[in-house]
Structure 1
């Protein structure tokens, strides 16, 4: 599995931001208010992934990967890597959506009361998306196999 490229995540976030800005521009009056909790839902996922990254990193450093009961099974590490790739995409898309909403809201804050009220929730959501991407990238990094030391010639 190839590592996630930051450029791909930035492209996804930019696409989501533009699409959201276009949609919100046309339909903002019919949208419900943005709650602070709407974007905050990604924080627990990011915390779980960061915790899992530290566990996997410790097991890899201690060479405790294997089928034994007290070891981290290789399939579990592969599943964590797949989770990290999916979460980084979700985080990038979410950050893009919240950024697109913020790009619409910020110029209207002084004239539209609803825009001022929705800004806080959008900022919380944007930060949550970025935090999820960071946690997912950290988890993916921790799931990589350590480099093998080069074989030393026998003397």
Structure 2
């Protein structure tokens, strides 16, 4: 499993943004429920948890606490962290695109539709929360990288 490519995430954001925009053009506000500030905050909570997880993993790897024993990070835990990181980035990307597409449709309608004016803040919070989740996933994935191997000492090999 390789690192998540940013261009793949960008393609997911773009595709979901187009779908969100088209959905907003065709169905907003008739079929959309009210979008409040609370709409996207659950993603922000997950993003914060993922980012803190990344800090913990990074600190343990940096301190050399990989291996068996209490307080150490098992290599399988690092592998599981990478899976969670990739999943977070891949959930955040299309959700960010979706809310951004809706936002692009709402902004010009704010003066004409009262619902658009009321929903804009909730859509901005939801888009920002999804972006935070995607970035936190990429951060956790970055934190799971092994430190570089120390260079071999040529003097030690000749002893």
TM-score, with length taken from structure 1: 0.96
Runs of 4+ deviating beyond 3 Å: none
CA offsets, 1:24-61, max 9 Å, x none?
21111121111211111111111111111111111111
| 1:27 corresponding residue in structure 2 | 27
Q: How far apart in 2 are the matches of 1:16 and 1:85?
A: 18
Q: CA RMSD in A?
A: 1.0
| C-alpha deviation, 1:2, in angstroms | 0.8
Give unpaired runs (5+ residues) of structure 2: none
Q: Measure how far apart 1:151 and its partner are.
A: 1.8
Aligned to 2:63: 62
After TM superposition, the score normalised by the length of structure 2 is 0.93
- In structure 1, the residue matched to 2:47 is 46
Paired residue total: 155
Between the aligned partners of 2:47 and 2:22, the Cα distance in structure 1 is: 28
Deviation at 1:93, TM superposition (A): 0.9
Q: Mark the runs of 5 or more structure 1 residues left unpaired by the alignment.
A: none
Compute the displacement of 1:150 (Å).
Answer: 2.5
**Number of the residue aligned with 2:128:** 127
Aligned to 2:142: 141
